[in-house]
Amino acid sequence: MRVMVREGLFTDPDPDTDPAPALLGSRCTNCGNVLFPRVDACTYCATEDPEPVDLSGPGTLWAWTAVTAPPPGYRGEVPFGVGVVELPEGVRVIGRLTESDPAALATGQPMELRIVTLHRDDDGNDVVTYAFGPPSASAPS
């Protein structure tokens, strides 16, 4: 089975029917700002009940680094990449990158949203999360 690392962050569509995953965000009906993760009230103007929006990209890479030591509780592989990606809606999202070599990435390059496996849990489930990767990269492991 596939289980999400956290519910409510992203969609994990069946690749056979709908190949484009999306991040679950919010758009403020007052100021128009887009927020991720989804919120109950706008963090810019405090307007409540922003409308739900799906954010799918592709985005633009702003900054990145590699994590070489596993954070507490993390059970996946190291090193792995982490970066800031700006989506077309204007929101910047911090996320895992499919590329762990910082030298292989460049400012402003397009990044596609993907769903990747982090690790297998004690019940044998594949724990998945969202990640960004160059469009030309091969499928994430």
Which spans of this chain sit near Zn ion (rule: CB under 5 A)? 28, 30-31, 42, 44-45, 47
85, β-bridge pairs: 61, 93
Contact criterion met (CB below 8 Å) for 131 and 98: yes
Cα→Cα distances 65→83, 99, 132, Å: 6, 10, 13
Of 27 and 114, nearer to Zn ion (C-beta) is 27
> CB 48 → Zn ion: shortest distance, Å?
10
Of 47 and 125, nearer to Zn ion (C-beta) is 47
**DSSP symbol at 10:** B
> CB 42 → Zn ion: shortest distance, Å?
3
> CB 86 → Zn ion: shortest distance, Å?
19
Of 44 and 74, nearer to Zn ion (C-beta) is 44
